[in-house]
Amino acid sequence: MFHKEGHKIIFATFVFVVASFLLVDNFISTEWLQTLIMITLLVFLILILQFFRNPKRHTVLNDKQVVSPVDGKVVVIEEVFEKEYFKEKRLQVSVFMSPINVHVTRYPIGGHVIFSKYHPGKYLVAWHPKASEENERTTVVVENETYGKVLYRQIAGALAKRIVNYAKQNDKAIQGTDSGFIKFGSRVDLFLPLDTKIKVTLNQKVRGGESIIAEVHE
């Protein structure tokens, strides 16, 4: 199953690969060169298909828990001052996505979207300290009565040139369902209440919609 954001690119890539195969077969007579070019084209097609895949995830709905919004690796767990919306200290958990990860962004909690904003910006590498403030990004806040407010921020990286955000203010958010897409690698930051119980560790690999990032501290 492929994400709708990739349908046009997948079709264009498929047409390009087929046309290139025909040209190689007709105009290149050297067998080893034909084979090399065809293998390269196939690898390119496979990479495009892999990037835009949208596997089904089995989210266990739980208003007391925050699930990972994306696939990737946990690269930041720290207390920070969140400047844009809360304007107070929060726990930040950041997940970095490599180009081979699934790039669907999913709602980390259920509830209602109370804030959604797009920011144009730079394309610093995703792990740059200022990437969350200076890169192209979107900020979304979802609230439910049990957990409270969770802010997640999609951040473009050096390769990512387009962020897609489906979350609109007053939308109903269903935990684990699609809320956006980031093309070609980046990261997502979560900003959580200070008294939340973090359930992941640095460098841990997580799966969007399934891995539990945090839960209410009881």
Q: Report in angstroms the alpha-carbon separations of 167 from 82, 129, 194, 197, 216.
A: 20, 26, 25, 26, 24
Strands of 120-161, DSSP E: 137-144, 148-156
| Number of Cβ atoms within 10 Å of the Cβ of 145 | 7
Residue 197's SS3 state is strand
Token reading at 147: 């957990």
Cβ pair 35, 177 in contact under 8 A: no
Question: Which amino acid appears at position 106 of this protein?
Answer: R
CA–CA separation, 148 vs 160, rounded Å?
A: 31
- Positions marked catalytic: 186
Token reading at 129: 């300290």
